[in-house]
Structure 1
Amino acid sequence: MARQKNYTASLKTITEGFETVENDIYIDLPRNPRNHKKLDHTKYLGLGFDAWAIQSLHVIRTLLHGENFSVATLISYSSNGLRYFLAFLAGGAVESPPATPNNLSKRHLERFVSWLKLKYPNGSTAKNYYTSFKSLVIVMADYGFVEGDLDDLLPPNPFPNNAQVTKDADPLTIGEMQRLLGALKSDLVAIHKGTFLGNGAEAMTVMLIITAARSGINTTPLLEMKRDALQPHPFIPSLRLITTMKRRGKGAQSKTIRQTNLLDEYSAIPLDGVAVLNKALEMSKTLVPLASKDISSCVWLYRSGQPGRSDEIATLTPSAVFSSTRSICERHALQDDQGNRLNVTLSRLRKTMENRLWKLSGGDILEVSSVMGHTPQVADNHYLRINDEIKAEGAIFVGEAFPDKLRGIHVTPTPPGGCQDSLYGNRAPKDGVTHCSEFIHCLGCPSYAIVGTLEDLYRLFSYQQFLYAEVEYYLTDEWETWRKRQFNYIQLIDAFTLQKFDPALVARAKAKAEASPHLFWAKKIEFIKKRRDGRI
């Protein structure tokens, strides 16, 4: 079915959209992490594809004013998408090239994909350029400049198995992370004492890296963080909330970050996210009145220090972070586990944090993706790399669960055990995207499943410990009927596991859960006990 035109942003018709911007085909951009000042499509005129240059910029301008897309995303539509598509058309690689967006066909796109693959055969460059152009085509269709059915227009999966030919950066190992944090800590001490040898950009980068390592926030939202982003946590005094904007997906997002008052063994500077972020705010506070209006609300302000512009106030950009991070690693002579210079990026830090959460959660990818703010598929495909350390620590879990999966049992791990279908199960939202999180009700759900591994039973008995904690908290008479039901569940778990599984395995799993419940339930048990004792 063809898309309906969307004229909410004053795009009357294809012709009018072309004519109204004929003499105005550049956009002055607001401050952005990519440091682009403007998008200028005049360079695309005279190639025979003026409609592409004009109409695409018209849509990009509208999206920019709507503020639902990051500036960096809109820049990529032009500089990564349209730029290479017009180079493809101008090169004569296709007969009867589409003079306007509305003349675009699937054949044109298939030839464009082939051209990109020939021009950029290695890595993910070709796919990235195509993805940017595809996104541009989709938004142009939303606004009526492409009137065909997108399902018939866009080639299905033009880059199959792309992940197998591209090498993502690996997360840092435990040893690499320890060396990095040690170096950052020494720099942080020097910053506090006023003896830091680096420039302003490096000082801010030190604090940005620590914040990234503690929070796992994506690069663009972290760089765009506002000065009022840090807020008290509504329930837990030792935590704070960092609110940032992630336009793709969920909009405003909140991350918890720990605050501690414990004195460090070597200095009185706590290496936690709150203390570091507060220090960055303190250092940049005097620069706010001197900064330009478009960056005065940013956290990561510093004096440029460049010749002739030493007093100019700047804020961190991806290129500044890259350069400063390399200087930090060189100054401390940081090496990776193979003895090479350590390469640190914010994306590697995010992956490192994800892998740490993976280990803490016992391999529960649903819990990890919930904490990190994206879908389980994204976490599995792009972040969770099971390196040798994780393989060693998770060998028992994998070794026991895998044979069951080979026998055709497909179970998604959940905190109380497993689920036969977390997307379309009995209590799932059934929207094809959101996984069920009604873990409290798993035992009464027909989709609940357990394959009988030690880890599976450990999750179940950890849930049993949570039930005990709940019963001990709600002791008044009005909860008597509810307590009976909880005790029935407790007894059901004992009877069911002894009937279905090896008693020795059951005893091991139960002892493990009693000694140290699964992290998901342990946090809930801890919270209940604190409330019972009046500590919160």
Structure 2
Amino acid sequence: MGKRKIFTKTDLSVPQIEYSRDMVGNVVILPETIPPSTTIVEFKRNATTTRSFDFAYWYGAGIDPITYACQRQIERFLSDGEAVVSTTTVAGYCQALRYFLNHCMLRATASGRELALVDVTRDLIDHYLDHLAGLGVATISQKNFYAKTKAVLNALGRRGLIHLVTSGDAATFPNNPFPNINRKINGETALSKREYQALTVALRQAIKPIWDDDAHVTGELLSLILLVVALHTGRNSTPLLEMGRDCLRPHPKDNTVFLVLWKRRGYSSNKVVLRSESNAERLLESTPSLRTTVERLIRRVITLTEPLNAEAPVDLKGRVWLYRSKRLPNSRCVSQTDTH
């Protein structure tokens, strides 16, 4: 069976870009719309510590049309109408736009005129790459900043706000601006057997309080348990953080269950087989014993956090890793652990 196409609804409450076109068809942002009534974009709860981004710094700096278009595009990414990327990803886009808008501001100063959307060309992109190279950051960081900036500009191009050349020497985005990037990246060194054993022993001791009759669920304790689950399953942090309370499903084989996780990027679920028989005293002493206890560990967390689920914010209802935060203004607020 073919994959079913999912259509998203457009959120008409998202501010639209008000513009006209000049005699040759170039987009011209209406001056009365700049700057917008609010320059701050708020991010809902996400896996980073970024909660907002303010575009105010780049208004009145000679690049108003570009700043305005970028801000509106970020707002569209966050709306239901274009919710095809996570809030965490959009927050990353904003961090990259910081460098792009700084570069545009320098270009406007050097040229002695205001830059418009029509100025987003291959020449601007080539100089942006030079700007990134001059920051003194690692090549992989330059590549990440460039890729995130490109994602925003591509979205503007698809909407016809900037003209994108897709092929040839004048293509807006060069074909391969970071050749042989993989050769410049050193992979992480795996833990030695002795280091791994020391880690498992430390984790075993650290998560023991979860089995107490009066166990108190804290963000730190849940983070350690999340690490145990990640070590066993090998799954990425985002699917594990977004585990639902119905994540454990029956398996046709006795003493076995499925751990079902949602992979946002692939729009599909992923199943991990867990053994359901357990021996709590041998938890984490070796890899085989870890396999037999992860299912029980998850069920224990689900049981302890069940009372918090009713109080959780709408965007956290149905999640597993809930605890009562002491850092929030209201100490009775329910939050979710993260990987930071």
TM-score range, shorter chain: 0.7 to 0.9
Offset of residue 87 of structure 1: 1.0
Q: Which has the larger radius of gyration?
A: 1
> 1:219 maps to which residue?
237
Number of residue pairs the alignment of both structures matches: 307
- C-alpha distance in structure 2 between counterparts of 1:268 and 1:131, whole Å: 40
Mapping of 1:347-386 within 5 angstroms?
A: none
Q: Is the 8 A contact 1:259 1:275 kept in 2?
A: no
Query: Of 205, 209, 215, which residue of structure 1 is paired with 2:227?
Result: 209
Name the structure, 1 or 2, with higher relative contact order (CA <8 Å, separation 6+). 2
- C-alpha distance in structure 2 between counterparts of 1:171 and 1:34, whole Å: 25
**What letter is aligned with 2:70?**
S
Q: Is the 8 A contact 1:303 1:313 kept in 2?
A: yes
- C-alpha distance in structure 2 between counterparts of 1:75 and 1:102, whole Å: 26
Offset of residue 45 of structure 1: 0.8
Q: How far does the alpha carbon of each residue in 1:363-416 deviate from its partner, in whole angstroms, 9 at most, with x for none? A: xxxxxxxxxxxxxxxxxxxxxxxxxxxxxxxxxxxxxxxxxxxxxxxxxxxxxx
Offset of residue 229 of structure 1: 3.0
Mapping of 1:172-191 within 5 angstroms?
A: 172-191=191-210
> 1:304 maps to which residue?
325
> 1:142 maps to which residue?
158
**What letter is aligned with 2:338?**
T
Offset of residue 268 of structure 1: 12
2:121 is the counterpart of 1:105: yes
Q: Is the 8 A contact 1:35 1:317 kept in 2?
A: no
- C-alpha distance in structure 1 between counterparts of 2:272 and 2:146, whole Å: 36
Mapping of 1:3-22 within 5 angstroms?
A: 15=20, 18-19=29-30, 22=36
TM-score by length of 1: 0.51
2:275 is the counterpart of 1:242: no
Query: Which of 63-72 and 219-228 deviates more?
Result: 219-228
- C-alpha distance in structure 2 between counterparts of 1:123 and 1:199, whole Å: 41
Query: Of 102, 108, 113, which residue of structure 2 is paired with 1:87?
Result: 102
SS at match of 2:268: strand
> 2:250 maps to which residue?
232
- C-alpha distance in structure 1 between counterparts of 2:178 and 2:276, whole Å: 47
Mapping of 1:19-418 within 5 angstroms?
A: 19=30, 22-64=36-78, 65=80, 66-80=82-96, 82-92=97-107, 96=111, 99-122=115-138, 124-151=140-167, 152-193=171-212, 200-233=218-251, 235-237=252-254, 238-247=256-265, 250-263=266-279, 266=282, 271=290, 272-306=293-327, 310-319=331-340
- C-alpha distance in structure 1 between counterparts of 2:247 and 2:83, whole Å: 19
**What letter is aligned with 1:302?**
Y
CA distance 1:59–1:122, change in 2 (3 Å) = closer
Offset of residue 70 of structure 1: 0.4
Offset of residue 165 of structure 1: 2.8
- C-alpha distance in structure 1 between counterparts of 2:219 and 2:124, whole Å: 45
Offset of residue 206 of structure 1: 1.5
Offset of residue 164 of structure 1: 2.8
Q: Is the 8 A contact 2:73 2:156 kept in 1?
A: yes
Offset of residue 140 of structure 1: 1.6
- C-alpha distance in structure 2 between counterparts of 1:153 and 1:313, whole Å: 46
Offset of residue 72 of structure 1: 0.9
Offset of residue 60 of structure 1: 2.3
Offset of residue 94 of structure 1: 8.4
Structure 2 residue runs of 5 or longer lacking an equivalent are 1-9, 21-26
Offset of residue 265 of structure 1: 6.0
Offset of residue 310 of structure 1: 4.2
- C-alpha distance in structure 2 between counterparts of 1:208 and 1:83, whole Å: 33
**What letter is aligned with 1:178?**
Q
Q: How far does the alpha carbon of each residue in 1:189-223 deviate from its partner, in whole angstroms, 9 at most, with x for none? A: 33213698x98122101110011112222222222
Kindly report the root-mean-square deviation, in angstroms, between the aligned alpha carbons of the 2 structures: 3.3
SS at match of 1:258: strand
Higher share in helix: 1
- C-alpha distance in structure 2 between counterparts of 1:215 and 1:108, whole Å: 45
Q: Is the 8 A contact 2:324 2:334 kept in 1?
A: yes
Structure 1 residue runs of 5 or longer lacking an equivalent are 1-7, 320-536
Identity, % of aligned positions: 23
CA distance 1:79–1:253, change in 2 (3 Å) = same
- C-alpha distance in structure 2 between counterparts of 1:94 and 1:106, whole Å: 19
**What letter is aligned with 1:162?**
I
